[in-house]
């Protein structure tokens, strides 16, 4: 796996799923700050040598880019808003242009697990080289991990060092599922 770990603020179930729905569906940008705080309090988040908010000192925050259809529908990129809030809280830089969509795919919320895994490879590209720093790869919800994995592979190919997934919510893992390794305590 190209990721060195994933820090999730909470499992995507009641009542947290309502927070995500309001953030994304009702364009409540102000919710990015409390969601970022939940990510920074996530169990297992690596602690930086300078002690700042659990992120290594060389961390650069890179949001998962939204598809054009999602941007038209919502009017904003939830991952970019989260990255901005994380950057404000931690002082870490945000680089939204280090990662781009390689191709557009169908809306993932309507896909099965297998469908999500099938469309992920090649979904992201890096327009240029990336320094060998720690990347905090930011997304709102992790369901199968396929989006984070595809983005991490593109960042790795462009030269990135360690990559840590930073998500507000994650789909609860069932025993033995691929997400079991990210189960919250």
Which tens digits make up the pLDDT trace of 2-61? 889 899 999 888 888 889 989 988 888 899 999 999 999 887 776 655 555 578 889 999
What is the value of pTM for the model shown? Answer: 0.84
Contact 108, 69 (CB under 8 A): no
- Give the residue extent of every domain in the chain: 6-182
For domain 6-182, give the CATH number.
3.40.50
The CA distance from 122 to 102, in Å, is: 6
Which among 78, 70, 165 has a CA at the least distance from the CA of 109?
70
Question: What's the token pair of residue 69?
Answer: 């259809």
Exposure letters 28-39 (e unless 16+ CB within 10 A, then b): eeebbeebbebb
| Local structure of residue 27 (DSSP, 8 states) | -
């Amino acid at each position: 796996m190209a990721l060195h770990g994933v820090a999730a603020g909470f499992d995507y179930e009641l009542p947290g799923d309502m927070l995500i729905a309001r953030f994304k569906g009702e364009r409540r940008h102000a919710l990015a700050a409390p969601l970022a705080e939940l990510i920074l309090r996530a169990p297992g988040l690596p602690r930086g040598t300078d002690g700042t908010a659990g992120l290594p000192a060389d961390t650069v925050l890179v949001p998962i880019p939204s598809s054009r259809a999602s941007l038209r529908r919502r009017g904003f990129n939830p991952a970019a808003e989260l990255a901005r809030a994380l950057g404000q809280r931690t002082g870490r830089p945000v680089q939204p242009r280090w990662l781009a969509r390689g191709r557009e795919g169908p809306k993932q919320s309507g896909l099965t697990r297998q469908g999500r895994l099938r469309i992920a490879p090649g979904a992201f590209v890096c327009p240029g080289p990336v320094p060998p720093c720690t990347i905090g790869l930011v997304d709102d919800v992790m369901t199968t991990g396929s989006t984070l994995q595809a983005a991490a592979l593109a960042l790795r190919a462009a030269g990135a060092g360690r990559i840590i997934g930073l998500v507000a919510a994650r789909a609860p893992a069932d025993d033995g599922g691929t997400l079991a390794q990210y189960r919250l305590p």
